[in-house]
Structure 1
Amino acid sequence: MSRYDDGGYEGFYQVPDIVKQWAHYFYRHIRERNIPEIQSMYEISFLKLSDRYYKSSPWPEVSHIAEVVDHDHVFCLLYKEMYFRHLYARCQPTLRDRCDSWDNYCDLFGLLLTSNVNMQLPNIWLWDMIDEFLYQFQSFCQYRGKVQSMSPEEIDNLKKVTDKVWNIVEVLNILQALVDKSGIVAELEGDGGARLCSLEGYYPQSSNVLRMLGYFSLTGLLRVHCLVGDYVTGLKAIYPLNLHERTHLFTPRIPGAHITLFYYGGFSYLMQRRYLDAARCFNAVLLYIYRVKGAHRSSPQFEQILKKNEQMYALLAICLALCPAAAKSLDENVLMQLRERQSDNMAAMGRGDIDVYDSLFRDACPKFVTSTPPAYDQATTNTNQLAFRAQLNSFLLEVRSQQTLPQLKQYLLLYSSIALARLAALMDVEEGALRQQLICLKGKQRQLKWDGGKDMTAGTWTVASDLEFHIDVDPESGREMVMVSDTLQVATYAPFLAHHIARFEEIIRDLSLPPPVPVVPAPAAAAAVRA
């Protein structure tokens, strides 16, 4: 018996034979550690069967396929993980569904943490587990915030489970337990991830499951801390991953993981007023998307990749509006794309238009969540907006503190020296107010910049500006003068040429590689399932 059928009421549920075959061969390939076949059935066959039989309905519950997989406990947990992910994507999950999915994740991760599960799974699936786990956490936080639209019965049911499921402390504990149990931090400290990358995450004669879940949980910790506005802790959580030295980062092999890592890392830097580091992060990942998006046009994640691409261009435009010196670190392709997408917005932000900052931040920021549930008996509005409003107000407060600085900087660029009184008259402000603006400009030009250490929150204070000035007294007239010195350096083309020579050599090297070895054809029955 099942609560799902074509008529929407309980009745006998018939599972198509091809779905049973898929489950049987999927189970068999997992038992045999056949990674190519597992990945094919996970990424291709599952989606094809979903479109054919379950386009707007859930997959069969685990009880309907348990017999064809020998009632294997581990496989049933893995199947349920995919079942709930499909349900979230194609249907509207109920509170019961959200609770059941939480219980399944707890059972699955608990089993992996306490047992010696000797199996190999595709790394893309392991990333999807962490990504979906956090998406469902986010979804539950958004769901419980809409109290004003719930019936009294729904609110009562939510009260009963609100401290038991999708609790942020439990979510963080699970992620940290995966990191600790996997031993991934010690491994990365040893060689920076060189062996992990060379073996593509699949170590001979051992399981990759816990190791890669631990690796991806580092990014998960950054994401959760960023969602609640704790940006410093978020950047500390990704140790020892290095956003600025990417030689042995494993995430580029999994586009979703790589984009997530740099999106939340760059946003964390942005909210800490570290615009040079934020721009460097966004530049790296936007270049990555520029190179790989063509290969993922048929991927289910392609729309999400494009969305994150646009969001990060918006965030990069904000970085350059608040810190024009950050443009020096951008690749010419990124700079060209940025101008095509955001030139009007950047001009408006250069004039101090707060509405443009507001609009770009709304479109590009994460969906923030509150770490505690709402007061169900008193909530009359959507409490999801509280977390967003707090972060938006914090950001706009920083923007408003710099609102008059672009005009001041434009005047300073016109002079090598100017009397303080004359500059105040040009800007139509009192001399005391002008001194405050000059001090503010001086302070905003200084920011922390990553200094090469392993700690992503560390750095050295640097001047991020092409303009240097100080106030002095003219010995002849006794007037206060603003002395301006241009710090722009003469452009050299050697780094530009070296960069393109290196890229050209990479292209030549890739073209000279031997053709890939053809994949061994799958067994006939498995091929029939994928057809």
Structure 2
Amino acid sequence: MYQENFDEEFIGDIDAVVENYVNVGEIYEGEMVGEEELIMQAHSGAQSIPEQVRKFLGHLYRNMTNGNVNDLIYNYENQFVRLSDKYYAKTSWPEPQYVAALVGDDGLFLTLYRELYYRHIYSRLHPSLETRFRSFENYCDLFNYILNSDGPIDLELPSQWLWDIVDEFIYQFQSFCTHRSRVAKRAPEEIALLKENPQVWNTYSVLNVLYSLIQKSNINQQLLVSRQGGDVIEAAGPFGVRPLYKMLGYFSIIGLVRVHCMLGDYTLALQTLENIELGNNRALFTRVTACHVTVYYYVGFAYLMMGRYADAIQTFAHILTFVSRTKQYQQRSLHFDAVNKKADQMYALLAVAISLSPVRVDENIHTHLREAYGDQQHKIQRGGEEAIDVLSELFLFSCPKFIMPNPPNYDDLEAASNIVEPQSYQLKTFLREARLQLVVPTLRSFLKLYTTMGLDRLSTFLDMDPAELRNQLIVYKQRCRQIKCTSGSDLLMGEPVATTDLDFALQEDMIFIAESRVGRRYADWFIRNTNKIQDLIGNLETRQKTFIANASKPKEEEQPVVAAA
């Protein structure tokens, strides 16, 4: 869709992103203020910043200037979050012009600070249209500086921060697309401003940035050489050897997967990951938990929309097992809540996929699904309109936020207001495929009870015409064979495999059924539950000892009193 001729048209300097951009300062600028008065305001504003925040900004600036990445990790992942909760829970951080007086007006630092400043507004407050414009302008300044410098810039940032820059860039793009599409809620002044600046948060601009970061870092060449063997440093080039460019390029690949899914191009989303092996536990995306979860979420969702339910189930089950096992270590993580929310969405998608294509999953995953979505799965398996309603509910809860790639027609607001929402269009696409798949759980629930069965008898059970039932059985046969990925790198390729443990043959009016049973792993079950009982007994013994110790203390204290009497 976008990739075929992108190298020729999109790659290169991204000055075009802001070439005709009307500076938002010119739009919202009030009366001109004298230079001396501006300096006085900046110093006055700097003095109004709490002392603890000023110290933090000073430490952040020094660590960034000196390249102290380990200290930056603490500044970014701990101090920034703690200070945000303490001082700026319901307000924005200090204005960048006030911070400039504290850091010697350092341009690069202020650009990165503005990125944090606007991100905080998006997270805690409601960004205005002016804020959305200014944030886009700041991202353009940042990426122009990184991409268009004569040589690699001297800057090192933690991987978590670099991922958050790319992730937030795409989130604000999605948020702006949703904001501009709701023309009925926009004031005339906002509509006029949106109409005058169609290139702000333009799809072309966002794709341009992501592809340019990938190209500048030579990250695809690095990944290919790393897998096939060769000199990775030579493949990386002068920019790609720097961690800043390498990680930004790598995270941009993951970002492209997200953008293509938001646009509804699932094939291109999976094709983007052709040089990344999901099953590799040492892959770069595993360094950042939020990135790790994100890539599996969008890959699994792409498989679901392509009707490859077996691959979707395998993808979701893998990452949910990882999240479950590492949950206790992630409680103080910067993105703990976001990861848990994404995990809840993936559980819903997994419930949908398993209901449409029943297979066995890990015991812990199965237990959680039964507790959280047991009723919904039962309704889906019964079929009918009730199943469609449940599928719609789960899909809308767990799907990505889709976008329209082009702005609405601001000259015809009535027509723009009546455009079908991308969310509704993708839901309709999903349900069209799901309706055909619903025959699988319904027929399977009857067929698994028999080894041979007459067609007339089954049609009586289902209250269905025998001719129609014959067609349904053919559909079932076809739906029980899916393309399943067989290699770790090429997510699109695969082989047709049977996705159910139940098969049948239809000879005239007789159905011959064969079920391949997989023996349960009783050893794993006993080991897991034995450990649970041992932990429970240990907790009870600890509580008993504590209770006895506390109960004996007052008696020991009363003895001296009695003796004294």
The equivalent residue for 1:164 is 199
Aligned pair partner of 2:482 in 416, 433, 447: 447
The normalised TM-score by structure 2 is 0.78
Give the total of aligned pairs.
Answer: 475
1:394-430 deviation per Cα after TM superposition (whole angstroms, max 9, x unaligned): 1111222233443322332233233333433333322
Distance 1:379 1:219 in 2: 35
CA spacing shift, 1:248–1:296, aligned 2, 3 Å: closer
Is 1:239 the equivalent of 2:270?
A: no
Is 1:30 the equivalent of 2:59?
A: no
Distance 1:392 1:289 in 2: 27
Q: How does 1:108-187 map to 2 (within 5 A)?
A: 108-115=142-149, 116-161=152-197, 163-187=198-222
Contact 2:300 2:315 in 1 (8 A): yes
Q: How far apart are residue 59 of structure 1 and its match?
A: 2.1
Contact 2:356 2:438 in 1 (8 A): no
The equivalent residue for 2:381 is 350
Is 1:456 the equivalent of 2:491?
A: yes
Distance 1:484 1:221 in 2: 45
The equivalent residue for 1:360 is 394
Ranges in structure 1 where 5+ consecutive residues have no aligned partner: 4-9, 196-202, 474-479, 501-531
The equivalent residue for 1:438 is 473
The equivalent residue for 2:407 is 373
Question: Aligned-residue CA RMSD in angstroms?
Answer: 2.9
Aligned pair partner of 1:210 in 245, 249, 253: 245
Q: How far apart are residue 489 of structure 1 and its match?
A: 4.2
CA spacing shift, 1:415–1:373, aligned 2, 3 Å: same
CA spacing shift, 1:447–1:302, aligned 2, 3 Å: same
Q: Which has the larger radius of gyration?
A: 2
Aligned pair partner of 2:297 in 247, 263, 271: 263
Distance 1:28 1:287 in 2: 40
Distance 2:480 2:306 in 1: 14
2:423 aligned partner, one-letter code: F
1:349-404 deviation per Cα after TM superposition (whole angstroms, max 9, x unaligned): 11122211111111111111111112223344767861001111111112222334
Distance 2:330 2:516 in 1: 43
CA spacing shift, 1:493–1:293, aligned 2, 3 Å: closer
Q: How far apart are residue 260 of structure 1 and its match?
A: 0.7
Q: How far apart are residue 310 of structure 1 and its match?
A: 1.1
Q: How far apart are residue 190 of structure 1 and its match?
A: 2.5
1:287 aligned partner, one-letter code: T
Contact 1:182 1:214 in 2 (8 A): yes
Contact 1:193 1:248 in 2 (8 A): no
Distance 1:25 1:194 in 2: 42
Contact 2:357 2:440 in 1 (8 A): no
1:365 aligned partner, one-letter code: C
Aligned pair partner of 1:303 in 337, 354, 360: 337
Contact 1:119 1:208 in 2 (8 A): no
Q: Please identify which structure carries the higher helix content.
A: 2
CA spacing shift, 1:493–1:147, aligned 2, 3 Å: same
CA spacing shift, 1:388–1:217, aligned 2, 3 Å: same
Q: How does 1:496-515 map to 2 (within 5 A)?
A: none
| Deviation larger for 292-301 or 71-80 | 292-301
Ranges in structure 2 where 5+ consecutive residues have no aligned partner: 1-27, 30-37, 231-237, 529-565
The normalised TM-score by structure 1 is 0.83
Distance 2:89 2:229 in 1: 42
The equivalent residue for 1:45 is 79
Q: How far apart are residue 122 of structure 1 and its match?
A: 0.7
Q: How far apart are residue 64 of structure 1 and its match?
A: 1.9
| Deviation larger for 231-240 or 60-69 | 60-69
The equivalent residue for 1:477 is none
Between the aligned residues of both structures, percent identity stands at 38
2:131 aligned partner, one-letter code: D
SS for the counterpart of 1:324 is coil
